[in-house]
Amino acid sequence: MALIGYARVSKDEQNLDLQLDALKAKGCVRSFTDKLTGTKFEQRKQLQAALTYLNEGDTFVVWRLDRLGRSMVDLINTVMELKKRGIEFMSLTENIDTSTAVGKMFLQFLAMLAEFERNLIVERTKAGLEAARARGKVGGRPALSANSTRVQVAKRLFADKKNSVKDICKTLNISRPTLYRWVNLPETS
Protein backbone atom coordinates (compact mmCIF):
# COMPACT_ATOMS: atom_id res chain seq x y z
CA MET A 1 0.00 0.00 0.00
CA ALA A 2 2.07 2.84 -1.35
CA LEU A 3 1.45 6.42 -2.35
CA ILE A 4 2.53 6.90 -5.97
CA GLY A 5 2.71 10.44 -7.34
CA TYR A 6 2.33 12.04 -10.72
CA ALA A 7 3.39 15.56 -11.68
CA ARG A 8 3.12 17.38 -14.99
CA VAL A 9 4.01 20.73 -16.47
CA SER A 10 3.11 21.87 -19.96
CA LYS A 11 6.47 23.19 -21.13
CA ASP A 12 10.12 22.22 -20.72
CA GLU A 13 10.95 25.60 -19.22
CA GLN A 14 8.43 25.13 -16.42
CA ASN A 15 9.53 23.64 -13.12
CA LEU A 16 8.14 20.53 -11.40
CA ASP A 17 9.63 21.32 -7.98
CA LEU A 18 6.43 22.67 -6.36
CA GLN A 19 4.45 19.57 -7.33
CA LEU A 20 7.24 17.11 -6.48
CA ASP A 21 7.80 18.76 -3.07
CA ALA A 22 4.07 18.47 -2.29
CA LEU A 23 3.99 14.82 -3.39
CA LYS A 24 7.08 14.02 -1.30
CA ALA A 25 5.63 15.82 1.74
CA LYS A 26 2.48 13.72 1.39
CA GLY A 27 4.63 10.58 1.52
CA CYS A 28 4.82 9.43 -2.09
CA VAL A 29 7.47 6.74 -2.38
CA ARG A 30 7.79 7.23 -6.13
CA SER A 31 6.70 9.98 -8.52
CA PHE A 32 6.39 9.99 -12.29
CA THR A 33 6.71 13.21 -14.30
CA ASP A 34 5.80 14.50 -17.74
CA LYS A 35 6.73 17.77 -19.41
CA LEU A 36 4.15 18.28 -22.12
CA THR A 37 0.67 19.65 -22.63
CA GLY A 38 -2.26 17.86 -21.02
CA THR A 39 -4.38 17.64 -24.13
CA LYS A 40 -2.91 14.37 -25.46
CA PHE A 41 -3.69 11.87 -22.72
CA GLU A 42 -2.24 8.81 -24.50
CA GLN A 43 1.03 10.59 -25.32
CA ARG A 44 1.95 11.23 -21.69
CA LYS A 45 4.36 8.30 -21.40
CA GLN A 46 5.14 8.74 -17.71
CA LEU A 47 1.43 8.92 -16.83
CA GLN A 48 0.94 5.64 -18.66
CA ALA A 49 3.96 4.20 -16.82
CA ALA A 50 2.56 5.36 -13.46
CA LEU A 51 -0.84 3.82 -14.18
CA THR A 52 0.86 0.53 -15.11
CA TYR A 53 3.10 0.65 -12.02
CA LEU A 54 0.20 0.98 -9.55
CA ASN A 55 -0.93 -2.11 -7.61
CA GLU A 56 -4.12 -2.91 -5.75
CA GLY A 57 -4.15 -1.05 -2.43
CA ASP A 58 -1.94 1.80 -3.70
CA THR A 59 -3.06 5.43 -3.84
CA PHE A 60 -2.41 7.54 -6.95
CA VAL A 61 -1.63 11.12 -5.92
CA VAL A 62 -1.60 14.31 -8.00
CA TRP A 63 -0.94 17.86 -6.86
CA ARG A 64 -4.04 19.19 -8.64
CA LEU A 65 -6.80 17.61 -10.78
CA ASP A 66 -5.75 19.43 -13.95
CA ARG A 67 -2.33 17.74 -13.74
CA LEU A 68 -4.06 14.41 -14.41
CA GLY A 69 -6.32 15.56 -17.23
CA ARG A 70 -7.86 18.63 -18.77
CA SER A 71 -10.73 16.63 -20.19
CA MET A 72 -13.49 15.70 -17.74
CA VAL A 73 -13.96 12.42 -19.60
CA ASP A 74 -10.25 11.46 -19.33
CA LEU A 75 -10.20 12.40 -15.66
CA ILE A 76 -13.30 10.41 -14.79
CA ASN A 77 -12.31 7.40 -16.87
CA THR A 78 -8.89 7.30 -15.23
CA VAL A 79 -10.22 7.59 -11.68
CA MET A 80 -12.98 5.02 -12.32
CA GLU A 81 -10.47 2.59 -13.87
CA LEU A 82 -8.22 3.00 -10.81
CA LYS A 83 -11.19 2.29 -8.54
CA LYS A 84 -11.95 -0.93 -10.48
CA ARG A 85 -8.36 -2.03 -9.88
CA GLY A 86 -8.63 -1.36 -6.13
CA ILE A 87 -6.49 1.78 -6.30
CA GLU A 88 -7.49 4.98 -4.49
CA PHE A 89 -7.04 8.48 -5.91
CA MET A 90 -5.95 11.65 -4.16
CA SER A 91 -5.68 15.26 -5.32
CA LEU A 92 -3.80 17.42 -2.83
CA THR A 93 -4.93 20.91 -3.82
CA GLU A 94 -8.64 20.05 -4.05
CA ASN A 95 -8.38 17.83 -0.95
CA ILE A 96 -9.96 14.84 -2.70
CA ASP A 97 -9.32 11.35 -1.36
CA THR A 98 -11.45 8.49 -2.71
CA SER A 99 -10.68 6.39 0.37
CA THR A 100 -12.92 8.73 2.42
CA ALA A 101 -16.73 9.08 2.37
CA VAL A 102 -16.49 12.61 0.93
CA GLY A 103 -14.01 11.43 -1.72
CA LYS A 104 -16.33 8.59 -2.73
CA MET A 105 -19.21 11.07 -3.00
CA PHE A 106 -17.02 13.30 -5.18
CA LEU A 107 -16.25 10.33 -7.42
CA GLN A 108 -19.95 9.57 -7.78
CA PHE A 109 -20.61 13.23 -8.56
CA LEU A 110 -17.94 13.18 -11.27
CA ALA A 111 -19.52 10.07 -12.78
CA MET A 112 -22.92 11.79 -12.83
CA LEU A 113 -21.40 14.84 -14.53
CA ALA A 114 -19.76 12.65 -17.15
CA GLU A 115 -23.03 10.87 -17.88
CA PHE A 116 -24.82 14.23 -18.09
CA GLU A 117 -22.16 15.51 -20.51
CA ARG A 118 -22.53 12.39 -22.70
CA ASN A 119 -26.32 12.79 -22.73
CA LEU A 120 -26.02 16.44 -23.77
CA ILE A 121 -23.69 15.50 -26.62
CA VAL A 122 -26.14 12.83 -27.83
CA GLU A 123 -29.05 15.29 -27.70
CA ARG A 124 -27.11 17.99 -29.59
CA THR A 125 -26.00 15.47 -32.22
CA LYS A 126 -29.56 14.23 -32.76
CA ALA A 127 -30.89 17.79 -32.98
CA GLY A 128 -28.19 18.73 -35.50
CA LEU A 129 -28.90 15.68 -37.66
CA GLU A 130 -32.64 16.37 -37.62
CA ALA A 131 -32.06 20.01 -38.59
CA ALA A 132 -29.76 18.94 -41.43
CA ARG A 133 -32.28 16.37 -42.70
CA ALA A 134 -35.01 19.03 -42.61
CA ARG A 135 -32.83 21.10 -44.96
CA GLY A 136 -32.41 18.11 -47.29
CA LYS A 137 -28.88 17.17 -46.22
CA VAL A 138 -27.93 13.52 -46.04
CA GLY A 139 -25.16 12.37 -43.70
CA GLY A 140 -22.43 9.85 -44.26
CA ARG A 141 -19.53 9.48 -46.60
CA PRO A 142 -20.31 10.44 -50.20
CA ALA A 143 -20.62 7.50 -52.59
CA LEU A 144 -17.42 6.92 -54.50
CA SER A 145 -17.57 5.87 -58.09
CA ALA A 146 -15.13 3.35 -59.50
CA ASN A 147 -14.88 5.77 -62.43
CA SER A 148 -13.53 8.66 -60.37
CA THR A 149 -10.08 9.85 -61.43
CA ARG A 150 -8.41 9.11 -58.08
CA VAL A 151 -9.81 5.57 -57.98
CA GLN A 152 -8.65 4.92 -61.56
CA VAL A 153 -5.16 6.23 -60.75
CA ALA A 154 -5.04 4.06 -57.62
CA LYS A 155 -6.07 0.97 -59.61
CA ARG A 156 -3.43 1.61 -62.29
CA LEU A 157 -0.68 2.18 -59.72
CA PHE A 158 -1.76 -0.92 -57.78
CA ALA A 159 -1.82 -3.07 -60.91
CA ASP A 160 1.81 -2.10 -61.64
CA LYS A 161 3.68 -4.40 -59.23
CA LYS A 162 6.70 -2.07 -59.30
CA ASN A 163 4.77 0.27 -56.96
CA SER A 164 4.62 -0.56 -53.28
CA VAL A 165 1.39 -0.12 -51.37
CA LYS A 166 3.17 2.29 -49.04
CA ASP A 167 4.32 4.47 -51.97
CA ILE A 168 0.87 4.46 -53.57
CA CYS A 169 -0.75 5.53 -50.30
CA LYS A 170 1.83 8.26 -49.80
CA THR A 171 1.45 9.53 -53.38
CA LEU A 172 -2.36 9.64 -53.20
CA ASN A 173 -2.40 10.76 -49.55
CA ILE A 174 -4.72 7.91 -48.54
CA SER A 175 -4.63 5.14 -45.97
CA ARG A 176 -3.92 1.50 -46.75
CA PRO A 177 -7.58 0.46 -46.07
CA THR A 178 -8.80 3.20 -48.43
CA LEU A 179 -6.48 1.95 -51.18
CA TYR A 180 -7.75 -1.61 -50.83
CA ARG A 181 -11.35 -0.41 -50.77
CA TRP A 182 -10.76 1.58 -53.97
CA VAL A 183 -9.01 -1.18 -55.92
CA ASN A 184 -11.82 -3.59 -55.01
CA LEU A 185 -14.60 -1.31 -56.25
CA PRO A 186 -16.44 -2.98 -59.12
CA GLU A 187 -16.17 -1.27 -62.50
CA THR A 188 -19.30 0.60 -63.61
CA SER A 189 -20.26 1.69 -67.07
Task: Indicate the helix (H) or strand (E) that contains 177.
Answer: helix 176-183
* Backbone angle region of 91, left / alpha / beta, with phi > 0 → left and psi within -120 to 50 → alpha: beta
Cα dihedral sign, 56-57-62-65: positive
In the sheet where 59-62 sits, what is the strand order? Answer: 30-35, 3-9, 59-62, 88-91, 96-97
Q: Is 10 a catalytic residue?
A: yes
**1 close to 27: Cβ distance less than 8 angstroms:** no
**Can you tell me the distance from the alpha carbon of 145 to that of 154, in angstroms, rounded to the nearest whole number?**
13
3-state DSSP assignment of residue 39: coil
Q: Which of 10, 31, 148, 175 is catalytic?
A: 10
Cα-based distances in Å from 154 to 141, 143, 188: 19, 17, 16
- Catalytic center residues: 10
